[in-house]
Homo-oligomer: A and B are copies of this chain.
Amino acid sequence: MTKTMSRAGRPRSFDQQVALGDALDVFWRKGYEATSLDDLTEATQLSRSSFYAAFGSKRELLLHAYRRYADAFYADMKTLADEHEDAKAALRAMIKALVDARPDDRGCFCVNAIVELAPSDPELAELGRAHIQRMCALLEELITQYGTRRPLARAQAATLMTLTMGSAVFRRALVAEDTLKSVQKQALGLLGLT
């Protein structure tokens, strides 16, 4: 159909992945609605035309950003799981990573996006559920690896995920860091990891 020969044209003056990262950062801090196109073009250093050529629209960009964040998050956890031989050690490391995080008010990008947009954007809601489910599955698998039976492991994984998202809300409100630490300890106790 399309001509395949003779492509040329002016080269891009920016790295799309870098720009996506910059945009993600703005959405993460300010939320979707509160982020204006001027915010985005300033953060990415793109002109409006380049911006729309690269990302289509504000909403599409958010979906790109969501996928990018969620995939990176999952990949990090999977790496953490693979690095440890012992499933218990892996879970300890993951709980530490999940609940620790940076003590700023950014929280978790997924949580922020879901809370702000899920009811009005079914596509994003679906991405959210998919991410939650795959995280739960990863946790569940790990938990079974040291003898916990399937239905209990599933419940524990869901609980761990719930704690993670709740902690993200706590962090968004800058609740005292000690509180998060004690929740973390309780999470370890719940799984029988002393």
Contacts and interface: CB of A to CB of B under 8 A. Distances in A.
Interface in A176-190: 179, 182-183, 185-187, 189-190
Question: Could you say which of A162, A163, A164 has the most chain B C-beta atoms within 10 Å of its C-beta?
Answer: A162
Interface of A: 29-31, 33-34, 105-107, 111-112, 114-116, 118-120, 125, 128-129, 132, 136, 154-156, 158-159, 161-170, 172-175, 179, 182-183, 185-187, 189-190
A81 B165 CA distance: 26
Nearest to A151: B182
B172 A162 contact: no
B29 A119 contact: yes
Contacts of A156: 186
A182 B163 contact: no
**SS class, residues of chain A in contact with chain B:** helix
A183 B158 CA distance: 6
Given A116-B116, A159-B186, 14 more contacts: A31-B116, A105-B118, A105-B119, A106-B119, A112-B116, A114-B172, A115-B172, A118-B173, A132-B170, A155-B182, A155-B183, A159-B187, A162-B166, A166-B169
